Structure 1
Amino acid sequence: MPTTAPQTTDELYQALQENDRRPYGRTRTVTAEELVDAAEQFDEPVPLIHALLELQEAYTYGSEPRKSPVVFARLLTLFDEQPGVFDERLRHMLFWRFKWVANALRALPEVPLAGMRQWLTEMRDRYEKAGLGLQPYYSQAYQLASHIGEDTTLAYELWAGRTRTRLSDCEACEICERALYHLTAGDDERALRAWEPVLAGKESCQEEPARSLSYALLPLLRTGRTDQARELHLVGYRGCRRNPSMSGEVGRHLEFCALTGNEARGLELLAENRGLFDEVDSPLDLCDFLTGVEVLLQRVELLGHGELPAAGYAGRTWTVAGLRAEVRTRADDLAARFDERNGTTAHTDRRKARLDRAPLLDALELTLRTRTLDDVTPATPVTAPAAPTAATVPDALPELILRARALEEQGHPDAPACWTRLRSLVAARDYTHPDDPAVGPLVQLRADLLADEAGRAGEKDEFADAAALHEEAAALYDDAGEPAHAALARAGALLATAEIATEGADAAEAKAAALTAAHASMVHLHEETPGLAPYQEARLLRLRATALALRLQTSGSEEHVAPVLAEVELLHTFATRHGVDTQISGALLLRASTYAISGDLPAAVTEIDALLDRLKAHGPAWHLPRTLGLRGRLQLGLQDAQSAHADLTEGLRRAADWPADTVDTARLHGDLAQACMHLGRPDEALRHLTRSAEQDLRRGSRTDAFCTYGNAAQLSLDLGRVEDCIALLDSVLAEPDVTAGEVDDRLVAQLRLTRARALHTGEDLKAATAEFVALAAESAGWEDDRGSHAMIAAETAVLLGESGEFGRAREAVGQALAAHAEVPRYEHLSNSLRELARLQAQKQGPDGLPDALAHLDDAGRIADEARAAGYEAHGRSLDTALAYEHGRVNAYAGAYEDALAALDKALALLGEPGPEDDRAGEWAECVRLAGAVEGIYLERPAPALTRLDAAVSRLTALGHTGETEPLTSLAARLRDEE
């Protein structure tokens, strides 16, 4: 929005141009209204015409049909009064927009049917008087008949049988209307055949292909084309999301989700588009949108989830059931108003047909992030295990307490369910503790509950909380006269305290020292505590061994290996003597881990194999998934991805036998993804990455989950699954804690950066550029990460260059270079500067050459800096790439002698390729371009042919025959032209 009103017509046109770059919506519309006011101050009709045209466009695509005809009436009056000021382009735009007004009038039930017909008569008369073909008029007559629900056979033939004119709707829009005619007739196959050019991306416009894609989804499903429907849902939804003028399309995507078992995604998309409830001013579009919403909500409620939260009208909190009732009332009213105006029941009938549709598929995996309605809950950390089942939790209170302690003694995975139930009972106001000597006093039970809570906090790396809870439990155990339990709690507190992260350069050394002290204190505690039961003493020995194992993991010092193995041997001997199976398994697992950390992977595998044999024979069975997981990681370290995959898959299968929190399935899935990548199965890896992330999310490890989702998104982008990447990131970025700013801003920025790159790859340059510009502005404040800002600003400059905005690109380059001066990013900056130079020369020709060469000068200085710093590029040599780009840039600008000299320099820097040289392709391309410049543009075919023939001979002799084809093709062309 301009800060001050334009004072000259040049300023007005510049402001109109800037507004045209804005997305449709209130900001663009309000600015357009202000620019009309500004245009009226000039005593010239043409600026006002341009401003009115921009305002009508803003109203039309901002879903404000009531205002569009009013603006057009002013334009028509200006045309009638001063037709001579309308040049050919303005005249074309004026007559084109008769159709916009017809569309707007249909969308308003308060406009009488006679008024709509009168407008079509006006359109016909105007077209005839101007000598224009009437095909566009008959198109509007057909659309009115279809809207009303009349027999459209004759109207269709009168339109579709006529020759197109310059004022006909674009090919894509007409294709959609033809397809909808066949669809209404019940002929899915014929409709899809008509749609094929649009669905294949051969025809498009402002609203297409998004409009056609939304209508084609259900016919594709009905004809068995599920993969295509999935793909087009992702593409099409992105083309209409949050767009008030395409709210009907959004509604059809919600309906598609409801009919394919993707109700959870539907609710997610509804939340993303909640603004449409209040932003859509077109009654027709709103009725279409609300019907799609109702189809979704009806399905969710029928599945028994009517109390789930749903995003609806602003000002109150909605459930699915409550919102459905509200939507049904409003949509019924809108349909009835249209039917009353039209004298038919068409709109009510169409609503009923959509609401009566049965699901077309039980389940269609639409996105990489497959979620169910059970997952649609507010983003809150998981603080307790899943609700226990009746099979594991006794009803009687004394039995429940004793059962919990017995399971805890074994380390059994059903123990947390018992503690969860007890925690709920003890917290109740009417709780009465059993008067039973076997159960013990209430203070002991409270200590047990605190100890359980401390253990779960430690599992989530919340070490400060774990330490405090252990200390509190120890004090209560003392009060209860349970010194052995108190000792175990204090040992847990010692270990948790040592684990608390320290910062600074010597953090690892400080943590190792803390673990050494914790171990010493545990040994003293062990010696000073009488009356330890065998399982308690074994657990204390396990904590001692764990402290030393963590010290080894922290320090990596060889001298710390032997103490761990000695302590593990104590544990193993004691547990074996007393038959404590859980700790025998724990000792063997610690021993294997110690060998692995020390680098002796074969010994680690031998230990794990022995452990697996023992677990299968003696148990405990719940240790099998974790042990198989470790064996899988060891096999990955030994480069045996196939065995790793087998072990990890078996680990996941075994994990399904136990409660969800028993095994870290997120890690199993993550390790499986790594194995799949080694095996060349990236699509399978992608599935495991997303499952790993979802498991972390359910456990409350949200940062880990978002990092893994980011890795999955990058992998999907690397695989060319652009729409999957974007849909995944859109879903993650819509998480409540992300939108509320509660997630680390750098992590969110990385997710947005990957999304912006995916948008660019998907050729949505406008959206990609907007995101990059926003990220560049945000990263400018990252004083602790100037290198990242340099790279983001450099990429932003390239995208601005692709959009032809070279002034803004130069500003972004300036930011990138300033940040690079603080934290160098040689290769990234050089690549971006060269690409920007190429774009400027390619788009602007000779006029862009000075600025393009200035970018290359900057790239040259960076190459000099890199050379002085001893930096070696990961890809092409910066000097060679720079010389080649000088050749391309000068060639685009017509400076052919300079181009050829630069290419010869690049060839000299490259040197001729060898038999195993991976630079053969780069060398051949440089020769090809030099040959083209010399032979075609400088018209010196003889030396060009000599160059090309020599290169072909050289490459052929070296076995690089694949690189010779472009050279032989160019040589043949030069010979033909001689």
Structure 2
Amino acid sequence: MPTAPQTTDELYRALQENDRRPYGRTRTVTAEELVEAAEQFAEPVPLIHALLELQEAYNYGSEPRKSPVVFARLLTLFDEQPDLFDERLRRTLFWRFKWVAHALLALPEMPLAGLRQWLTEMRDRYEKAGLGLQPYYGQAYHLAAHTGEDTDLAYELWAGRARTEFSDCEACEICGRALYHLAAGDDERALSIWEPVLTGKESCQEEPARSISYALLPLLRTDRADRARELHLTGYRACRRNPSMSAEVGRHLEFCALTGNEARGLELLAENRNLFDDVDSPLDLLDFLTGVEVLLQRVELLGHSELPAAGYAGRTWTVAGLRAEVAGRADDLAARFDARNGTTAHTDRRRARLDRAPLLDALELTLRTRGLDDVAPAPAAAPTDRATATLPQTLTELIGRARESDEQGHPDAVACWARLRTLAAAPDYSHPDDPAVGPLAQLRADLLADEASRAGEKDEFDAAVALYEAAASLYDEAGAPGHAALARACALLSASQIPAERADGAEARAAALTAAHAALVRLHEEASGLAPYQEARILRLRATALGLRLQTSRREEHIAPVFAEVDLLLAFATRHDIAGQVSGALMLRASTYALSGDLPAAVAELDALLDRLKAHGPAWHLPRTLGLRGRVQLGLKDARAAHADLTESLRLAADWPADTIDTARLHGELAEVCMRLGSPDEALRHLTRSAELELRHGSRTDAFCAYGNAAQLSLDLGRVEDCIALLDSLLAEPDVTAGALDDRLVAQLRLTRARALHAGEDLKVATAEFAALAAESAGWDDDPGSHAMIAAETAVLLAESGEFGRAREAANQALAAHARAPRYEQLSNCLRELARLQAEQQGSEGLADALAFLADAGRIADEARAAEYKARGRALDSALAYEHGRVNAYAGEYETSLAALDRALTLLGEPGPDEDQAGEWAECVRLAAAVEGIYLKRPAPALTRLGGALSRLTALGHTEETKPLTSLAARLRDEH
């Protein structure tokens, strides 16, 4: 708090401002400071308000030791000066007797006699005040349930009484009744009682999040796994990182452990690391730590005790180390509660949780499904495919197999080189003294060339060039000129793609590829000692360089040179019977047809190639060829054929080592095809699979892009919680938090998450995230259009919260950015919505500001018209006129409203067959008739207007659009 309030008015404003803060240390410390400030005033009432705010901060900030102390001061003030407490303050005071009872219950150092004495105090106070005792019996039941003694009688004394105005809210009482039956082993009855809370019909500050956490396991036990998954996503988001809901977080961790989601559990544990130190309630801490231990115990049982785990600050923890620490602390807490209570209830309940067996082997909780192996920091295991199982045992044979496979382009080369790389790096490696194997320099060159190839596949062209050049030098040293020439040829092609990697202009990239081709031709002409397969590869590189140039330039004069090079390669490979290069040449020819726009010719080439591959091989070229044909079929708008080809490509790719075929790309392309076919759920599965594969291959940017697309699609499908959970997982990744990932990509992920939070009605958090993004994007000098879009969305969210001053500031930012990079439609939509919100919430008082927003929207419409911009959605002029009508109607300016709506109808023109246009026209007619008939009290012309509209819409077959008009006409007839 910058300065202490100097007047009571300033104090009350500060209390209101603090009340808007989330519970936590900032709110609590501010509340403490406000109590100190209130003590300086002669009036005691402001102090009462400040003390109430402080007790609330302690109660929901998980500080039960301090809440009773504050309440004692309030009670003393009430006893000494009861007239200071008006009806609202008095009600608040008596309500909070229950808060103190709960706080004392959570402290094992508070004797049982003290708890019972407080309940007696509560009963006496309630009786003296003439209040019903059901709340007292509710607290007596909670004490009985806590100690595990006489619960049935206590339950009946509470549940059998009628509720009073001081009873816990309906949602909390439902939870208490459900937990009673849950403890008795009756899952079905508990879930039935919980239903109003779980469906959101009853809620409060802590509900439904608390009930959800308890209901997860009963839902699993009663075969409602999908419902449990759905509630886990919504319930966890409501309690994460919240010290006052640490027990609920612990139950979500337990749920992960018992559904095969141990990796997800570790992820959530890391997200809630603050709870180890921030929770001051021993009872909540016991529940949290027990949930943590259930998770860690399960991870240990699965053989991952050395995985890192997020725990107490100040040291690095493994799963095993943290479990031991947590177990000791939780055992001590349970023992302290049992000693206080004179029972074994807490130790028994804790043991029951720890002894519980998994309820499901696997339940897909999020779109990002990962196992414990995926989160292990250890290096990836050696390949385990069929190639590894059949690797030669001797070095001589292994080197021979690797070179033979590499010469053929066989996928088994991957495993061979991987094994040789490991062996050659060993300190005791001894190279075979065998002329057939060649010197060690040649093997080291082979390994460098393989590493260069893999770098090139990841678009790491600088690294690829350096590795190829190093390999060429070693080949020279080993007396292998053909190998050296091929390595230098590969370096030339890689070097030509560095401008593309750095996003230079298309002309520069094309020029680099032209120069590379010329250099490749010279190198080919000057090379000596080339084996046929090496010469074929250089010819392939020549053709590839020209193919990439065509892909970059799309110029017609670049087509024929590609075909000429392909013909050279095909003739050479056919003459020397090099099957892999024959197939490669035919694939290049098909690709060239596709790039030149002749898709039918490309399909014909690919059909012939597939027939050849099936008859003569190589079989490992089939997946790639089918993938290309799938892409071409998609270009021909035959999505079903594309789906069949890509699916078959994936099926065949499974027969070969994972690193040899780009299955991540195949999944990504299948996702696009599925969207074309109207199968978004299948598309979502392929997108997430593509992302997972990219991650495994180390392509993190591509992986995050794919995951981002999956998040957006899940949001489009209405799977809001899936979207948020996925993005929360991604944004918690170490390279994201460390700022190592592209900042614009991270911003896009955050933007999608903010939109999802808005869709999920978490307005406060969504607005905060949008505001943060708007502030950051203001510095994007190279992309003002994105800033305009983000600032516009931020303005709308602020307006929805009633913060119109801040909304105006954000809108001004959007307009300034729009001036540099126009976003006509987005800004017009934003400004019209801002005007609507202000007029709707403030009526005539907000009319001037609302009209100012519409004036800005009018200028944008003028700019768009001058730029001959055509909106994708509603026409900007007619939409603006309609909004003038609506805004003036909200403000009570009905004549002005009707005139604006008539102008909108003129701009729209008569409705046609298009449903969207007819719907917009019908809505404009409906509002105009409502203003005219209801507010201006002119029903006759309004009914005439509606009758004409109904006739037109019916004649056009727009029956759905007539329903609101028919309903309004009936209302007007009834009223007049």
State the AA in 1 paired with 2:31.
A
Contact 1:385 1:661 in 2 (8 A): no
| 1:365 pairs with 2:358 | no
- State the partner residue of 1:38: 37
**Match for residue 141 of structure 1?**
140
What's 1:197 paired with? 196
Which among 669, 679, 682 is matched to residue 681 of structure 1? Answer: 679
Bigger mean CA offset, 550-559 vs 42-51: 42-51
What CA deviation, in whole Å up to 9, does each residue of 1:415-446 have, x standing for no partner? 12222222222222222222222211111111
Matches within 5 A, 1:143-158: 143-158=142-157
* Cα separation, 2, equivalents of 1:607 and 1:690: 32
How far residue 390 of structure 1 moved from its aligned partner, in angstroms, is: 4.4
Change (3 A) 1:72 1:503: same
Deviation at 1:477, TM superposition (A): 0.6
| Aligned twin of 1:773 | 771
Aligned-partner Cα distance in 2 for 1:113–1:277: 27
Q: Which moved more, 1:865-874 or 1:549-558?
A: 865-874
> 1:661 is paired with a residue of what secondary structure?
helix
Other-structure match for 2:635: 637
Does residue 565 in structure 1 map to residue 580 in structure 2? no
Q: CA deviation at 1:776?
A: 1.3
Instruction: From the superposition, tell whether residues 203 and 897 of structure 1 become closer, same or farther in structure 2 (CA, over 3 Å).
Output: same
Secondary structure of residue in 2 paired with 1:28: helix
Please give the alpha-carbon distance, in whole angstroms, between the structure 2 residues aligned to 1:744 and 1:606.
41
CA contact (8 A) 2:459 2:501 kept: no
Equivalent position of 2:843 in the other structure: 845
For each residue in 1:463-495, what CA deviation from the matched residue of structure 2 results, as whole angstroms up to 9, or x when unmatched?
A: 011011111110111011100000000001100
Task: After TM superposition, give the deviation of residue 845 of structure 1 in Å.
Answer: 2.0
Q: Which residue of 1 aligns with 2:808?
A: 810
% identity of equivalent residues? 83
Match of 1:497 among 495, 498, 508: 495
Structure 1 CA distance, aligned partners of 2:30 and 2:385? 55
The answer to whether residue 718 in structure 2 is matched with residue 720 in structure 1 is yes
Cα RMSD between the aligned structures?
A: 1.7
Q: Which residue of 1 aligns with 2:98?
A: 99
Q: Identify the residue that residue 410 of structure 1 maps to in structure 2.
A: 408
- Give the equivalent residue in structure 1 for 2:932: 934
Letter aligned with residue 317 of structure 2: W
* Other-structure match for 2:249: 250
Q: Which stretch shows the higher mean deviation, 480-489 or 845-854?
A: 845-854
Q: How far apart in 1 are the matches of 2:419 and 2:10?
A: 71
**Structure 1 CA distance for aligned equivalents of residues 951 and 974 of structure 2:** 20
Query: Residues 503, 643 of structure 1: CA spacing in aligned structure 2 closer, same or farther, 3 A cutoff?
Result: closer
SS in 2 for 1:763: coil
CA distance in 2, matches of 1:475, 1:144: 81
Describe the superposition over 1:861-880 as per-residue Cα deviations: whole angstroms up to 9, x where unpaired: 22222222322222112221
For residue 906 of structure 1, report the CA deviation from its aligned partner: 1.5
CA apart distance, 1:389 = 6.4
**Native 8 Å contact 2:798 2:804 kept in 1:** yes
In 1: Cα distance, 2:383 partner to 2:522 partner: 34
User: What corresponds to 1:269 in structure 2?
Assistant: 268
TM-score (ref. length: structure 2): 0.98
1:431 equivalenced with 2:429 (yes/no): yes
Contact kept? 1:392, 1:418, Cα under 8 Å:
no
Closer/same/farther in 2, CA of residues 817 and 746 from structure 1, 3 Å limit: same
Question: Counterpart in 2 of 1:965?
Answer: 963
The structure 1 residue matched to 2:587, chosen from 586, 589, 593, is 589
Gaps of 5+ in 1: none
Aligned residue for 1:202, secondary structure, equals coil
- Aligned twin of 1:711: 709
Answer yes or no: is the 8 Å Cα contact 2:630–2:641 preserved in 1: yes
Q: How does 1:664-679 map to 2 (within 5 A)?
A: 664-679=662-677
In the other structure, the counterpart of 2:350 is: 351
Shift of 1:254: 1.0
Task: Say if 1:271 and 1:310, in contact at 8 Å, map to a contact too.
Answer: yes
Question: In the alignment, is the contact (CA less than 8 A) between 1:413 and 1:659 conserved in 2?
Answer: yes
| 1:680-736 C-alpha deviation (Å, 9 max, x unpaired) | 111000110111111111111111111111111111111111111111111111111
**Which deviations, in whole Å up to 9, do the C-alpha atoms of 1:603-626 show, x marking residues without a partner?**
111111121122222222221111
Q: Tell me, yes or no, if structure 1 residue 758 matches structure 2 residue 756.
A: yes
Aligned mates of 1:465, 1:572 — CA distance in 2: 31
Change (3 A) 1:186 1:84: same
Please point out which of 690, 696, 699 is paired with 2:697: 699
Compute the TM-score of the two structures, normalised by the length of structure 1. Answer: 0.98
Q: What's 2:478 paired with? A: 480
Larger displacement relative to structure 2 (675-684 or 811-820): 811-820
Distance 1:916 1:720 in 2: 26
**Residue 583 of structure 1, CA deviation:** 1.0
Matching residue of 2:507: 509
The residue correspondences of 1:788-937 to structure 2 (distance < 5 A) are 788-916=786-914, 918-937=916-935
Residue of structure 2 equivalent to 1:294: 293
How much does 1:503 deviate?
A: 8.7
Match for 1:716: what amino acid?
S
One-letter identity of the residue aligned with 1:619: G
User: How far is the alpha carbon of 1:3 from its aligned partner?
Assistant: 1.9
Contact residue 904 and residue 930 of structure 1 kept, 8 A: yes
- Is this contact kept in 2: 1:388–1:421, CA < 8 A? no
Counterpart in the other structure of 2:219: 220
Alignment length (residue pairs): 976
Matching residue of 2:239: 240
Distance 1:15 1:386, change over 3 A: farther
CA distance in 1, matches of 2:804, 2:540: 65
Separation in structure 2 between the aligned mates of residue 727 and residue 543 of structure 1, nearest angstrom? 45
Listed one character per residue, the Cα deviations across residues 146-167 of structure 1 (whole Å, up to 9, x for unaligned) are: 0111131111111111111111
Name the CA distance, whole Å, in 2 between partners of 1:848 and 1:275: 44
> Per-residue CA shift, 1:31-68, capped at 9, x if unaligned?
22122222222222222222221111111111111111
Could you give the per-residue CA deviations for residues 825-847 of structure 1, whole angstroms, max 9, x where no partner exists? Answer: 22212211211221122222222
Query: Residues 207-258 of structure 1, C-alpha deviation per residue, up to 9 Å, x if partnerless?
Result: 0111111111111111111111111111111111111111111111111111
Q: CA deviation at 1:412?
A: 1.5
Residue type matched to 2:38 in 1?
A: A
1:6 equivalenced with 2:5 (yes/no): yes
Shift of residue 383 of structure 1? 12
**CA-to-partner distance for each residue in 1:63-108, whole Å, 9 max, x for gaps?**
1111111111122122222221222211111111111111111111
Asked if 2 retains the 8 angstrom alpha-carbon contact of 1:392 and 1:417, the reply is no
SS in 2 for 1:110: coil
Tell me if structure 2 keeps the 8 A contact 1:386–1:660: no
The ranges of structure 1 where at least 4 consecutive aligned residues each deviate by more than 4 angstroms after the TM superposition are 382-390, 502-506
Code of the aligned partner of 1:65: P
1:49 partner letter: I
Amino acid at match of 1:358: A
1:178 equivalent in structure 2: 177
Distance 2:132 2:391 in 1: 81
Structure 1 residues 264-314: Cα deviation after superposition (integer angstroms, max 9, x where no partner) = 111111111111111111111111111111111111111111121211111
Q: Given that residues 188 and 223 in structure 1 are in contact (C-alpha distance below 8 angstroms), is that contact kept between their aligned partners in structure 2?
A: yes
CA distance in 1 between partners of 2:772 and 2:892 (Å): 36
Amino acid at match of 2:586: L
1:317 aligns with 2:325: no
Deviation string, structure 1 residues 628-664 (Cα, Å, up to 9, x no partner): 1111111111111111111111111111111111111
CA contact (8 A) 2:388 2:415 kept: no
* Per-residue Cα deviation, 1:775-803 (whole angstroms, up to 9, x for no partner): 11211222222221121111111111111
Identify which of 625, 628, 645 aligns with 2:626: 628
What is residue 399 of structure 1 aligned with on the other side? 397
Does structure 1 retain, via aligned residues, the 8 Å contact 2:385–2:657? no
| Alpha-carbon shift at residue 111 of structure 1 (Å) | 0.8
Q: Partner of 1:913: helix, strand, or coil?
A: coil
How far 1:331 sits from its partner (Å)?
A: 1.0
The amino acid of 1:91's aligned partner reads: R
2:129 is aligned to 130
